[in-house]
A and B are shown apart, each in its own frame.
Chain A
Amino acid sequence: MLIKVKNNIEEISRVCDTVSRFCVENDVSDEKCHDITLILDEIITNIVNYAYPDDKEHELSVNIDKIGVHITIRLIDSGVAFDPLTVADPDVNSTLEERKIGGLGIFIAKQLSNDFKYSRVNGQNQLDIRISTQNGEKSDGN
């Protein structure tokens, strides 16, 4: 299923609703649906906030499919080159005082994904994410 998304924060709830319907139609559990929605929320929020330095309207695409026991997601945007895998993970062992605010969104998205790959293709950012619909498959994050 292809979802076209404008670079506007308001669009995210529409994407979440569409993905929830996709999950119901494809017998994906509520728990996994929550994870998939959260991954997309974090990644799209990041793209909308940082990918486009101009104030113009842009469109990104989200392709979501169920292949066997996996959900595959391909996100393509034409924003500035940005590889989320180069962002340092927050130090989850730091104290409250030391803990930095921010950088959590991408970390959460990676944690919830079984596979998370970035490529720059034809001047566009492409993220390929795979999530198992079964519990127990270990997330490799990176």
Chain B
Amino acid sequence: MEIKTTTEDGVAIITPSGRVDTSTAKAFEDGVMGTIDSNNKIAICFSGIDYISSAGLRVVLMAGKKLTALNGRFALINMPEKIFAVFKMSGFDKILKIYPSFEESKSFFK
């Protein structure tokens, strides 16, 4: 798994690519949790993800909990439909902020 991180308007945008499953969840976790150590405004961009299992959802939930505890901001952006379906099925759409694009998440991060 490749993970790119860029910063825009003070928000760290983490963009992983490929599959987030049991075998790649550790790399995903390291990338996300490592970024939280240096920034409490985080967006995960899912445009390059075509598969996520509960191993990946676990990392997203951990990140959400940690950023809430830190009074940070956390959003999920650019989610393909089949990835969104897995989040919705798990009830994560009710506890996490999901936006169609980074542009649309900007007011949340302000």
Contacts and interface: CB of A to CB of B under 8 A. Distances in A.
Interface residues of B, number: 22
Contact of B61 (A13, A93, A101, A105): A101
Contact of B86 (A13, A38, A99): A38
A96 B22 contact: no
Contacts of B91: 90-94, 99
Contacts of A37: 51
B interface SS class: helix
Contacts, number: 66
Interface of B: 21-23, 51, 53-55, 57-58, 61-62, 64-65, 68, 82, 86, 89-91, 94-96
B62 A101 contact: yes
Chain A interface category by residue count: 20 to 34
Interface string A85-127: 0000011111111010110110110011000000000000000
B26 to A, nearest CB: 11
